[in-house]
């Protein structure tokens, strides 16, 4: 009886050792997309009132956990019974990410200044509705990025047992959510930490200087993350096409892969943007008819 119990413990220990090794490899493989995930989600989790930052971030984090709970079992099942569906889902997600990235660029380049009455009208729009819309957008983007993280992690353990696959992918998914949104939480609260340091030091000494740096750095960090997040959207989408569509393999062999992925992401985003514009025009014509 005792020997059987210790044998079980030994098996569990061996499993944990295997999971630790495979999780380390999978995390290293997904490091690039995790960096992009951080940049994108940090940009999406900002721009709210100070007292709404943490509640909004928590709402997005819960959405991210739910995304992982959906994606992990579905990815494992599809990989076992219908692997081609994973590529289709990734490509569709690539178009969505490309659309989001290119839409931001187009809005920045062709954004017109609003008249005073338009600004006032926007200020009267239901803030709660706007917040919910931004949270939904952030969770949708997280879903697509999570799909790629899970697929990459799964790809590192395809030759291992089903148990190892399930535990490794689950660990990576959990670490991705905790790590990314934990860092985002630290970023969005930089100014509060700075104000606290200034207040505690009576605006004197090293702590006060550090507090002022944190307060002044936050807007720069947010703007920088906005730019990086937009580039990341396009780069990730281009990478999805390059790695999952045979036509794009080695399409521009003389260019660095990162340039190729950015170009493909931009083209995919423009196609998606035009398709959305055309769809809105057609729907508008039907409504008028």
Task: Give the separation between CA 171 and CA 56, rounded to whole angstroms.
Answer: 25
Count of C-beta atoms within a 10 Å radius of residue 199: 12
pLDDT band at residue 168 under the 50/70/90 scheme = confident
Query: Could you tell me the two tokens for 211?
Result: 């507090």
Q: What is the separation, in whole angstroms, between the first and last Cα of the chain? A: 79
Question: What pLDDT was estimated at residue 154?
Answer: 79
Q: Which long-range contacts (CB under 8 A, 24 or more apart) does 189-192 make?
A: 189/53, 189/54, 190/214, 190/215, 190/217, 190/218, 190/221, 191/50, 191/215, 191/218, 192/50
Distance of CA 186 to the CA centre of its chain: 17
Query: Could you tell me the two tokens for 125?
Result: 């729009």
Residues 71-106 have pLDDT tens digits of: 889 888 888 888 888 788 888 888 988 898 898 888
Task: Give the separation between CA 140 and CA 63, rounded to whole angstroms.
Answer: 9
Q: Which residues contact 249 (CB under 8 A, 6 or more apart)?
A: 242
Do 144 and 240 form a contact (C-beta atoms < 8 A)? no
pLDDT band at residue 117 under the 50/70/90 scheme = very low
Question: What pLDDT was estimated at residue 91?
Answer: 85
Dihedral-angle region of residue 29 (phi above 0 means left; psi in -120 to 50 means alpha; beta otherwise): alpha
Look at residue 157 and tell me whether its pLDDT is greater than 80: no
Q: Find the helix packing angle between 84-110 and 127-155, rounded to 10°.
A: 140
Q: Find the helix packing angle between 127-155 and 162-188, rounded to 10°.
A: 140
Do 213 and 220 form a contact (C-beta atoms < 8 A)? no
Query: Could you tell me the two tokens for 150?
Result: 């899970």
Residues 199-243 have pLDDT tens digits of: 888 777 888 888 888 888 878 887 787 788 788 888 888 888 888
pLDDT band at residue 18 under the 50/70/90 scheme = low
Question: What pLDDT was estimated at residue 268?
Answer: 93
Query: Could you tell me the two tokens for 188?
Result: 């969005």
């Amino acid at each position: 009886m005792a020997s059987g119990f210790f044998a079980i413990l030994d098996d569990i220990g061996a499993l944990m050792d295997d999971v630790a090794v495979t999780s380390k490899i999978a995390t290293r493989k997904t490091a690039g997309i995790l960096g992009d995930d951080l940049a994108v989600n940090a940009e999406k989790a900002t721009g709210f009132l100070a007292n709404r930052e943490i509640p909004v971030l928590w709402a997005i984090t819960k959405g991210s956990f739910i995304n992982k709970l959906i994606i992990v079992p579905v990815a494992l099942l599809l990989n076992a019974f219908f692997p081609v569906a994973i590529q289709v889902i990734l490509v569709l997600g690539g178009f969505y990410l490309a659309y989001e990235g290119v839409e931001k660029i187009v809005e920045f380049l062709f954004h017109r200044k609003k008249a005073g009455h338009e600004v006032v009208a926007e200020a009267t729009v239901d803030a709660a509705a706007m917040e919910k819309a931004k949270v939904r957008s952030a969770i949708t983007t997280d879903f697509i990025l999570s799909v790629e993280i899970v697929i990459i992690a799964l790809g590192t353990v395809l030759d291992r047992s089903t148990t190892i696959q399930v535990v490794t992918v689950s660990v990576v998914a959990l670490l991705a959510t905790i790590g990314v949104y934990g860092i985002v939480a630290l970023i969005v609260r930089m100014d509060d930490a700075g104000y606290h340091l200034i207040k505690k030091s009576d605006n004197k000494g090293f702590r006060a200087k550090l507090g002022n740096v944190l307060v002044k750095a936050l807007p720069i960090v947010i703007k920088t993350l906005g730019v990086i997040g937009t580039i990341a959207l396009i780069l990730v989408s281009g990478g999805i096409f390059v790695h999952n569509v045979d036509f794009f393999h080695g399409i521009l062999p003389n260019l660095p892969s990162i340039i190729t992925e950015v170009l493909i992401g931009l083209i995919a985003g423009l196609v998606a943007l035009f398709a959305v514009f055309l769809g809105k025009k057609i729907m508008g014509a039907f409504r008028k008819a």
